[in-house]
């Protein structure tokens, strides 16, 4: 999603003239694995209206943070990213030494966030992620390895941010297996690109629908994107309230519950290559979808008061920009009825 992604593909036939490129910066190489220890935490209860933020386990010029530094308006903190291992489908995670952050302090900070009612999850993939879950064996390896990370660090669940292809059959199998291993109630989020959610026939969309009974929220990336079709069949350009609302409508009318849809945006102009919108635009889109006010030229045929909320890439870029996203969008999300 987030680490200088170059042009990655073109939209399906339903999209007119759509191409997209990515943003961010690569994180440093990781140290060897340490021994697993400690039980996974009981999952926090995600608020009806929630704000998701990605915390960077690397230094790419944004403000370097400990988890304890993350603004309290973030309800779900996605630790970015776990990396592939030599075992097909399996992932692992280690703190970047550049952060000068001990594992013990990291675990303690996770517990402190959870004690404050927040969820801390591990994000899988990113723009340069190479995780492939393409058969039953790799699906089980994925579930086993993510569960092991939940046990080791106390993560509440997992975020799926696979930007280089996804097999709905086996990713769905992996997530259902993970849910079973972790007691049935992990926090499960997804961060597909815009092109991935244009149709319920797309693999990412199919995955979301297949795990709808255990899915927390899909925070689609409304940035680094070309123009896309809205649910009214018209083409909308990125960077506008209409782009946010009309593409959210595709998901809302395509089978996801309103509580499973969030608006994912860059937290500052430096956080992505394109698609940044001011907090006021995000808030207008939230109002349009939930209350029917603040809309642009596109107005949904009905409102979705249960809409989950919004997502930011990243908490680090937000902090570097003075916390505008957390302070303005975060506050607005929490004030939704």
CB within 8 Å of 279: residues ≥ 6 apart: 324, 325, 328, 329, 332
Pick the catalytic residue: 103, 163, 203, 324?
A: 163
Which pLDDT does position 299 carry in this prediction? 97
> What length is written for the chain?
337
Q: Please list the pLDDT of the chain residue by residue as tens digits (337 residues).
A: 544 333 333 333 333 333 333 333 333 333 333 333 343 334 458 999 999 999 999 999 999 999 999 999 999 999 999 999 999 999 999 999 999 999 999 999 999 999 999 999 999 988 666 799 999 999 999 999 999 999 999 999 999 999 888 999 999 999 999 999 998 789 999 999 999 999 999 999 999 999 999 999 999 999 999 999 999 999 999 999 999 999 999 999 999 999 999 999 999 999 999 999 999 999 999 999 999 999 999 999 999 999 999 999 999 999 999 999 999 999 999 999 9
Going through the chain in order, the beta strands assigned E by DSSP cover 9-10, 19-20, 50-56, 76-84, 91-92, 119-126, 157-162, 187-190, 217-221, 228-229, 235-236, 261-266, 309-313
What gap in Å lies between CA 259 and CA 213, rounded to an integer?
12
Structure tokens at 148: 């092991």
Beta bridge mates, 309 = 50, 262
What gap in Å lies between CA 255 and CA 258, rounded to an integer?
9
pLDDT tens digits along 151-195? 999 999 999 999 888 999 999 999 999 999 998 789 999 999 999
What gap in Å lies between CA 274 and CA 193, rounded to an integer?
13
pLDDT tens digits along 75-95? 999 999 999 999 999 999 999
Q: Return the sign of the alpha-carbon dihedral for residues 291, 284, 189, 224.
A: positive
Q: Which residue, among 272, 262, 96, has the nearest Cα to 187 in the 3D structure? A: 262
What gap in Å lies between CA 98 and CA 23, rounded to an integer?
21
What gap in Å lies between CA 244 and CA 173, rounded to an integer?
30
Active site residue 163: yes
> Any idea what DSSP says for residue 330?
I
Show the DSSP H helices in 116-167 as ranges. 136-153
Which pLDDT does position 14 carry in this prediction? 35
> Contact at 8 Å (CB) between 105 and 66?
yes
Structure tokens at 72: 């309290």
Q: What is the C-alpha radius of gyration for the chain, rounded to an integer number of angstroms?
A: 18
CA 86 → CA 82, 120, 141, 175, 204, distances in Å?
A: 13, 26, 11, 20, 24
> Any idea what DSSP says for residue 41?
P
What gap in Å lies between CA 316 and CA 98, rounded to an integer?
15
For residue 314, is the peptide bond before it cis, meaning its omega torsion is within 30 degrees of 0? yes
What predicted TM-score, i.e. pTM, was given to this entire model? 0.88
- Count other Cβ atoms within 10 Å, centred on residue 311: 30
Beta bridge mates, 266 = 313
Which pLDDT does position 25 carry in this prediction? 32
> Any idea what DSSP says for residue 218?
E
Q: Which residue, among 27, 124, 24, 35, has the nearest Cα to 84 in the 3D structure? A: 124
């Amino acid at each position: 999603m987030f680490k200088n992604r170059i042009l990655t593909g073109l939209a399906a036939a339903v999209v007119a003239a759509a191409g997209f490129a990515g943003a961010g910066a690569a994180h440093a190489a990781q140290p060897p694995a340490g021994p697993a220890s400690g039980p996974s935490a009981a999952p926090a209860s995600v608020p009806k209206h929630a704000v998701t933020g990605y915390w960077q386990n690397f230094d790419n010029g944004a403000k370097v943070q400990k988890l304890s530094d993350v603004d309290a308006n973030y309800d779900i903190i996605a630790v970015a990213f776990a990396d592939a291992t030599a075992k097909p489908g399996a992932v692992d995670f280690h703190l970047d030494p550049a952060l000068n952050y001990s594992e013990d302090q990291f675990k303690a900070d996770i517990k402190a966030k959870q004690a404050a009612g927040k969820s801390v999850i591990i994000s899988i993939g990113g723009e340069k992620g190479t995780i492939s879950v393409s058969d039953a064996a790799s699906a089980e390896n994925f579930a086993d390895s993510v569960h092991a990370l939940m046990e080791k660090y106390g993560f509440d669940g997992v975020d799926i941010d696979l930007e280089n292809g996804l097999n709905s059959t086996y990713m769905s199998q992996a997530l259902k297996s993970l849910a079973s291993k972790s007691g049935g109630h992990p926090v499960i989020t997804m961060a597909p690109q815009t092109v991935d959610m244009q149709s319920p026939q797309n693999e990412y969309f199919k995955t979301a629908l297949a795990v709808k009974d255990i899915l927390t929220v899909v925070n689609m990336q409304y940035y680094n994107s070309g123009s896309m079709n809205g649910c009214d069949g018209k083409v909308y350009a990125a960077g506008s309230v209409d782009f946010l609302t009309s593409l959210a409508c595709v998901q809302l009318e395509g089978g996801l519950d309103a509580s499973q849809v969030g608006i994912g945006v860059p937290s500052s102009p430096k956080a992505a290559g394109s698609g940044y919108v001011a907090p006021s635009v995000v808030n207008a889109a939230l109002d349009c979808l939930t209350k029917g006010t603040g809309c642009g030229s596109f107005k949904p045929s009905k409102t979705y008061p249960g809409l989950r909320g919004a997502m930011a890439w990243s908490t680090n870029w937000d902090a570097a920009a003075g916390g505008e996203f957390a302070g303005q969008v975060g506050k607005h999300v929490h004030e939704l009825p």
